[in-house]
Amino acid sequence: MTEAKTATAAETYWDKYSIPRVSLTEALWQIELSLTANQTRGVFCLISEAGEGKSQGVHGIARKHGYRVVDVRTAQLTHIGAGVPQRADEQGHFKIAVPDDFPRPGEKAIMFFDEFNQGQPHAIALVFKMLEDRGLYGYKLPDDCLVVIGMNPGNSAYNVTKIEGNPAINRRVKKLYVYNEYNSWKKHALTEDFHHSDGMKKPCHPWVIKFLNTTPQMLYTVKDRDGNKQFACPATWQTASLDLYNLEEAKVSPSDDKFVNRLASSLNTVNASQLVEFIRNNEVRIAPDEILLKYKKSSKLRDRVLQLRSEPGGDYPRLVETLALFIFGDRPDPDKIADQLALFWHDMPEELAQAFYQQLGAAAKDGTGGTTKENVTYMTKMTVALQQSPLWDEINTRINSAHDSFERGLKGQAASRDPMQ
């Protein structure tokens, strides 16, 4: 849990150097304000523990505003890493050619110097000159280029060059100590932008969200990190989410050792075992895609589902909820699943049919509480496809009936209250 004060070294850092301690959400807001105001004076330096999401957040701002990110790892800069000598004229004069991916004249870009204090002194000096002159070796940053720095705190947990007490740097940068609070992380994790860096438009895997909802302190396991173990953090939870999607695609069961080993390779064995145990205890035995493809009147699958529905305290309500999440997570073709979905919905008890309608609406919403344009379009297509089913009118009537019954119950309770009590 990165919001809570967990490690003595981290507790004292921001007090020792008298810098603000803010959530990642606020830090990104501050950067975005500088970008939209075109304020190049006072470069923001984001200081945080490893894996908090600084880089991902900066890339998100860039995408939002149509900027390109030039991601420079200061630790990898060599003497020629920021420029290559080239002969300029016959008199033997040389000029330095900067890397091709540096922002070009007129380009909108964010120059992100990450791992700033992990660089050697000469590399830090190169970045410092870029901050001082907004250029290097005759190269000039374009006017629409924002410079941002990222670094880890200079304490015993990291092998870094100590720069905290450097007055020349302090007067040129605006330092923020950043933590990633669970609710803010979750808000982003529920959007389709979460896996953008992995090349896909999907939110964080539902199992990760459900697990961390019950154990938010495991968003960042500081003790594991301080004990030199593999540790959980926002970055490794993104990896775990991607792993879960791929394990599902490969149809690997949570009971298979390969399942837990893949997750443990980033989260560590203890953390991964807790996640997998949670999945095993809560997983639905019937896969949602089976419902959407194979649920028909005379089918063994329907017999299994109806048997599940009859079991008190069974997995049936969880299957209904999982199906709603799956529909908007996977977005299958409405025309291919409408008949199966309509029959499954028709077979639900009245109150659960109403709940499923509400769950579909909830699943269609992104992390900000509104519906995304894509989800609205998809929901419209799904509704049109369902309306072609002969069962739709009855489903719609039952949904409205359950809603009206609920409303009558509320009014009845209100009318029965003694206003004098």
- List pLDDT tens digits, range 159-174: 677 778 788 888 889 9
CB atoms within 10 A of CB 1: 17
Q: Is the pLDDT of residue 5 over 50?
A: no
Closest CA to 224 of 272, 170, 153: 272
Question: Residue 110's pLDDT is what?
Answer: 95
CA-wise closest residue to 154 among 6, 22, 13, 4: 13
Q: How many other C-beta atoms can be found within 10 angstroms of the C-beta atom of residue 335? A: 12
Per-residue pLDDT at 403: 57
Q: How far apart are CA 333 and CA 395, in angstroms?
A: 21
Q: 348: which 2 tokens?
A: 């639900």
pLDDT score recorded for residue 388: 93
Confidence of residue 80 (pLDDT cuts 50, 70, 90): very low
pLDDT confidence band for 10 (50 / 70 / 90): very low
Give CA–CA dist 176/17, Å, rounded.
11
Chain position carrying tokens 């950043």: 178
Helix axes 24-36, 182-189, angle to 10 degrees: 60
* CA dihedral sign, ordered 265, 266, 272, 278: negative
The radius of gyration of the chain from alpha carbons, rounded to an integer in Å, stands at 27
pTM of the shown model: 0.60
- Per-residue pLDDT of 196-245, as tens digits, reads 888 898 999 999 998 998 888 899 998 898 888 999 999 999 999 999 99
Q: Which residues contact 256 (CB under 8 A, 6 or more apart)?
A: none
List, in order of start, the domains of the chain with CATH numbers.
Answer: 8-83+106-180 (3.40.50.300), 196-282 (no CATH), 288-415 (no CATH)
pLDDT of residue 231: 93
Q: Is the pLDDT of residue 265 over 90?
A: yes
Q: Is the pLDDT of residue 391 over 60?
A: yes
Cα(145)–Cα(147) distance, integer angstroms = 7
Q: How confident is the model at residue 413 (pLDDT cuts 50, 70, 90)?
A: very low
21-23/84-87 β-pairing: unpaired
Q: Which of 91, 146, 82 is nearest to 120 (CA)?
A: 82
Mean pLDDT (the chain) is 82
C-alpha–C-alpha distance, residues 189 and 186, integer Å: 5
> Residues 112-146: pLDDT tens digits?
998 888 877 878 888 888 888 888 777 889 999 99
pLDDT computed for residue 69 by the predictor: 94
The number of beta carbons lying within 10 Å of the beta carbon of residue 219 is: 21
CA distance 186 to 218: 13
> What pLDDT, on a 0 to 100 scale, did the predictor assign at position 86?
54
What pLDDT sits at residue 371? 56
Q: Identify the weakest region by mean pLDDT among 90-94, 292-296, 363-367.
A: 90-94
pLDDT reported for residue 420: 34
pLDDT in tens, 242-258: 999 999 999 898 889 99
Q: What is the pLDDT of residue 123?
A: 81
pLDDT score recorded for residue 410: 38
Section 65-72 average pLDDT: 93
The residues, ordered by sequence, that sit 6+ positions from 226 with a Cβ below 8 Å of its Cβ are 7, 157
pLDDT of residue 401: 74
Single out the residue of 192, 241, 199, 205 nearest to residue 367, CA to CA: 192
